[in-house]
Amino acid sequence: MKNKKTEVRPGTTPRDVFFHLLAMIALYTGVISFIAILFQYINIKLPDLADYGYTSWDSIRQGSAAMIVVWPVFIGMSWLIYKDIRKDAKKQDTAIRKWLLYLTLLVSSITMIIDTVTLIYNFLGGELTLRFVLKVLVVLLVAGGVFGYYVWDIKRRGEKKTKLPRNLAIATSLMVIAVIIAGFFIIGTPSKQRALRFDQTRTQALQEIQYQIIDYWQRTESIPQTLEDLKTGPMMDYTMSTDPETQVPYEYHPTGENTFELCATFTTEQSQDPMLDRSYPIYGGVNTDGWYHQSGRTCFNRVIDPRVYPTYKSNENIIGEPDVVKPVPVR
């Protein structure tokens, strides 16, 4: 009786689990970050005024940071995995490798199917803009590229030499570098981002001062003559705001019974692009021109609308008991 040859299946070592899991986690993180960055670039270059969302600089920075870290990790882990396979072709058939490869194929397939369904659905609804089409193409190309490569990877044999993985590693790394460098031209260098954060802090400080002045107006039926009056008035706990870089107090000038001017010195320019301006909230009833500013000293003229912010006396409330103020609808 002839002995049947039994196929010896390769065992999965802790080293294999570590290499493959880390490689797949880095791949998923890198792909998601790559797509998120491209989506934000499309939002910036093709803004949609009907979109109530806004462009997030944070998502671009987070995506770029993730790509800088995880993509070299993915390339390094992939190189170590293929190095092991070249030494022992049986490593290509380990259970952890098969499971993760087929899981990646499943995720890629579902992504492409959902993306195609979304494209057709929006096309039937008449919403086929260049912005939308570009986003669909980004997802299809990235997911399709991942799917196609791993289909090839499952079929190939490890003992056969091929330059495709190396060439793809170089090509994808160059694309990642190009996308990250593009961010410096689109959102600016780290030094510019720091300047933008300082300017956003200035804008938020002016908004807080504006809120305190409105509260002072509602309590006293007048606007303060100086910002020091906010300390001696009903809001005695008011803390004077200063510029985050120079520590110089912000300028305040009363210009009428219910009008005033706030000034600050900015480093950058805040454009009137509605997609960019939504990161700066605006208090209703006091202004109509937002918080747009040029670089340098900029002043904002404000008018308090008594119909929107009536005084507490006119609302028949007690000045010293703000907790019982009745809400007044905005007209």
**Angle made by CA atoms 120, 149, 84, in degrees to the nearest 5:** 150
pLDDT at 317: 47
**Angle made by CA atoms 158, 153, 74, in degrees to the nearest 5:** 95
* DSSP-derived secondary structure for 54-91: ---HHHHHHHHHHHHHHHHHHHHHHHHHHHHHHH-GGG
CA distances from 102 to 18, 130, 147, 152 (A): 18, 33, 10, 12
As beta bridge partners, residue 303 has 259
pLDDT tens per residue, range 166-176: 899 999 999 99
Q: What whole-number distance in Å separates Cα of residue 261 and Cα of residue 298?
A: 10
263-269 mean pLDDT? 91
pLDDT at 165: 86
39-57 mean pLDDT? 71
Look-up: residue for tokens 């080293």? 15
Q: Report CA torsion sign: 138, 140, 143, 145.
A: negative
Using H for helix, E for strand and C for coil, what is the string for 270-285?
ECCCHHHHCCCCCCCC
> Which residue type does 55 have?
T
CB hemisphere CA count around 140 (13 angstroms): 12
Q: What whole-number distance in Å separates Cα of residue 216 and Cα of residue 220?
A: 6
Q: What is the dihedral of CA 32, 34, 35, 37, to 10 degrees?
A: 120
| Domain boundaries along the sequence of the chain | 14-188, 192-322
- Kindly tell me if the per-residue pLDDT of 179 is higher than 90: yes
- Kindly tell me if the per-residue pLDDT of 307 is higher than 80: yes
Q: What whole-number distance in Å separates Cα of residue 266 and Cα of residue 198?
A: 8
The pLDDT-based confidence of 131 (bands split at 50, 70, 90) is: confident
The pLDDT-based confidence of 318 (bands split at 50, 70, 90) is: very low
User: What's the pTM?
Assistant: 0.67
What tokens appear for 64 in the block?
């770029």
> Which residue type does 48 have?
D
Name the nearest CA neighbour of 314 among 229, 210, 247, 219: 219
Name the nearest CA neighbour of 308 among 280, 273, 292, 284: 284
CB 142 within 8 A of CB 115: no
